Amino acid sequence: MAIKGGKEDLELRGEGEHVRLIIPQRLRGKDLRLESESFLEKTSGILKDASVVVDLKGSGWDRGDILSVVESILLPAGASVLSWSPEEEDVRSWMKREGFALYCSGTEEKARIQQHRLLVESLVVEESLRSGRKIDHDGDIMILGNVNEGAEVFAGRSVVVVGRLRGLAHAGLTRSEEAFIVSGQFEASQVRIGDRISYMDEHCAWWGKTVSMKVVGGSIVVREIVP
């Protein structure tokens, strides 16, 4: 997949789990809001929530140019930067000094893509869940509050509840071998990880404590987290 205008226009290429945005030299220092308007109309469905490697062609790219790329293209499109790939070595050097994620070939870049994908797929809920509330997400879920009795949390991977867990937490719906559940104060009658279920009550040694849970040897193992 490749979308572009003329020879020296913005270009978008699909590369597996991410896309590559190619910005030609002629656009450096230009008003990208005007230059990118028609391009964004064509690519809005592709760039939204996409992980992007940004190619900066030519030389002389500075901080103002980078800010213009972010404000005029990436933010309006709803995309996130996986890494930057400047063509000129001087540009690459100053971006590296200032902490920009730079594109690398081979296994290092594959690892970066995997880590970025995990971060993008995490869901953070900045409130407590009342009875009857249900959260369902393919990645990790972090609840910055309580999960009250009658509330339900279903995650493709792991579940972290910063506060009290009294409702149902089901982790590992898609990747049970890596999934875990963490609760700041555990008071739930059952937890589920993958196809495993464990039932609890107030007589359990870890009731009311901070715990982590994971499947080990086919069973859910609970460990207290001691500060």
CATH number of residue 134's parent domain: 2.160.20.70
Q: Are residues 108 and 161 in the same domain?
A: no
Whether 101 and 169 share a structural domain: no
Ordered strands of the 190-193 beta sheet: 134-137, 152-155, 168-171, 190-193, 196-199
Res 6: pLDDT: 46
| Domain end position, chosen among 101, 119, 137 | 119
pLDDT at 195 over 60: yes
User: Can you give the residue range of the structural domain that contains 82?
Assistant: 2-119
In this structure, the answer to whether residues 177 and 190 fall within a common structural domain is yes
pTM over 0.75: no
149 vs 78, more confident: 149
Same domain, 20 and 110: yes
If asked whether residues 31 and 134 sit together in one domain, one would say: no
Same domain as 149, residue 99: no
Residue 43 has pLDDT above 90, yes or no: no
Measure the CA–CA gap between 183 and 177, rounded to whole angstroms: 19
211 band by pLDDT with thresholds 50, 70 and 90: very high
- What does the alpha-carbon distance between residue 147 and residue 143 come to, in Å, rounded to a whole number? 8
Q: Is 107 in the same domain as 155? A: no
Same structural domain, 7 and 114: yes
Is 114 a residue whose pLDDT tops 70?
A: no
The residue behind tokens 């910005």 is 23
Same structural domain, 89 and 190: no
pLDDT of 106 higher than 70 = no
Same-domain status, 140 and 211: yes
> pLDDT > 70: what percent of the chain?
87
pLDDT (mean) for 164-170: 96
Cβ atoms of residues 115 and 101 within 8 Å: no
Give the chain's radius of gyration (CA, Å): 23
> Above pLDDT 90, what percent of the chain?
38
CATH number of 107's domain: 3.30.750.24
**Last residue of one domain, picked from the residues 84, 103, 119:** 119
Domain count, the chain: 2
pLDDT of residue 13: 84
User: pLDDT band at residue 187, thresholds of 50, 70 and 90?
Assistant: very high
